[in-house]
Structure formats: C-alpha cells, structure tokens
Amino acid sequence: MLPPRVHMLDLGGPLQLIASLAPLGIARVAACCVAASETLTSFQGVAMAGLAPLPARVTAGDWVMVIGSRYDFRVPLSAEHEAIAAWLARVAAPLRERIVIASVCTGAYLLGAAGLLDGRDCTTHHSHLARLQRRHPAARVLANRLLVDEGMLVTSAGVLAGVDLALHLIARHFGAAAAIAVARENVVPFRRMSGDPALDAQLRYRDHDQDVIHAVQDFLVAEPGCALPYPQLAARFALSYRHLARRFRDACGITLKAYHQQLRIARARQLLREGDASIERIAEACGFASVQAFRAAWRQVEPLSPSAWRAA
C-alpha cells in the first residue's frame, strides 16, 4: 500500500523478497501495489503509474503492508493519506485477526490513524518514535527495535528494516528453509537487535558467504536429528572434519557441534510443544545418544525440565 511520496527502498526491499518466492519454487503469491490514486511520485522523484485502486475487500491470509513515505507535518494529511487510513479502518481492521497488517517505517502513522496501534506494541523509524507516540498516545511505541511482532500486526523501523520485516513474515508463514533461500538469493543477512523477536535456530549464523558452510547448515536444518559422526558429515562435502570445523567456526562464529546442538534443542522444543511423544522418543528423534544426554543438553539452556516445560 503506497502513500504519496513513498520511499523507494521501503517499497523495493520487501517487494523484491516477496517476488522471489515464486521463482524459488516456495509459493505462488500475487503482490499488488495499491494506492489511493492511479499515479504518484516517490520522495526520490520516481513517477509511478497504473497503480491499482484500494481493493474493495481482503481475504483471510492476505498481507497488507503499508510502506513508509515522506511526511510534511506542517500541513494536514493529504486526501490520499486520509483515504488509506479510512480504508484500513473500514476494510482491514475488521479482519485484523485473519490477515497480516504490517508497516514499514512511517507507514505506522497510517496504522495509527486507523486505530490499529491502540493498546499494541509497535515501532517506526528512530527519528519518528516520539512523534508517533504523541500522535497516538494509546499505542506503546518501542525504541531500538528492527521490528515488533504483535501476532497479526507487525511494524518495522526505517528503510532497510523492511527487509527484516519481509524475511520475518516469510519465515513465519513459509518456514525457515524458505526464508534462508530467499535471503541467500537476495544476498541479505538476518538481523536482530536485543529487543527484537529472537531468530529461530535455523536462521542464525547465516551472515556469511561460504557456500559449502551454507550447504552443511542446510543439511543439518533439514535433519537436526542426524546422528552421522562429524567426520562422515564432513566427507559428504568433500572436506576433512578438521577443515570443516575450522571453516565453520570462521564463517559462523560458533563451533559446528554447538550449532548442531542448538538445532537439536530447537527441534526438541517443537516436538514438546506440538505433540505428546515421550521424552525418550524425543531424545531419539533429536539425535541424542541417550535421554541423559538430552537432559544434560536441555539443562544448559532451559531452567525447567522437558516435562515441566511442556506443561507450562
């Protein structure tokens, strides 16, 4: 959703990543740029024509992303801004539990104008945090965040944070492997600040350009319970274990064993959360040599026992 004087990078970053889903064979999606007028000019001076009108309806599962733009707060919002805010309140808000409503950068102002930020955590470009809070005092505007995930409402900080937002949504809806493929295709890293939603274990340690290490990571992400001895794992990729261990540590900043352990624990959490398999079965499925080994690894990262964690 494009307001007047839209920022090109706010638009182009998320759109590029979403458009990668079909060529990569992940999902067929229809991305449509809509606006309150058929033509507009970006803040960077790029003229756009043939924009689709604001749709009469949206359906469950749709993503509505309001892109950031340049505002002049010395004058009232334009008729186009008002039309987008009214559309969000009239069409999108009633479906807020069944569609994703997201904003990049200053797009949060329009979510606020539609009442969508009331009582919710949110963020925006760092230079607009105080103003957004003043204009929408019922919102909880958070600083030092790349993105804030409130379930079906997701807001991001400025400019390149729109890329982080898109990767976050892709991982959430299509899985970690899809997000990894999109990030690698577009040569973008997975970023987080201290208060942001934590990256899934499968998405961590991917900010490097070593293809063979990415291939090893892909293998372990797909098979976190793999009990293949590490020398045999290295041989699958035509490396000695010593060479693989050194290259992995240099590329990822973590040892291969520690990385694999994180994947195993993440898989164990998933199995505990989603089913009723016994602790013994979960330990086996996650590649631990014994229940005792699983419990020892679990205690390093979780204060509760696996059974208590599941019950909580």
**Tens-place pLDDT, residues 261-284:** 999 999 999 999 988 899 999 999
Non-local CB neighbours of 83 within 8 Å, separated by 6+ positions? 36, 54
Return the higher-pLDDT residue of 77 and 231.
Answer: 231
Q: Are strands 153-156 and 147-149 parallel, antiparallel or unpaired?
A: antiparallel
pTM: 0.79
CA 229, 231, 232, 237 torsion-angle sign: positive
45-53 LR contacts (CB < 8 Å, sep 24+): 46/8, 48/2, 51/2
Which domains, and CATH codes, for the chain? 8-186 (3.40.50.880), 210-312 (1.10.10.60)
- Residue indicated by tokens 């991917």: 206
**Tens-place pLDDT, residues 11-21:** 999 999 999 99
Determine the average pLDDT of the residues in 39-57.
97
Position 75 confidence tier, pLDDT thresholds 50, 70, 90: confident
**Number of neighbours of residue 105 by Cβ within 10 angstroms:** 29
Position 4 confidence tier, pLDDT thresholds 50, 70, 90: very high
Q: Which tokens belong to 221? A: 């992400």
Mean pLDDT score across all residues of the chain: 94
Non-local CB neighbours of 205 within 8 Å, separated by 6+ positions? 217, 252, 253, 254, 259
pLDDT at 114 (0 to 100): 97
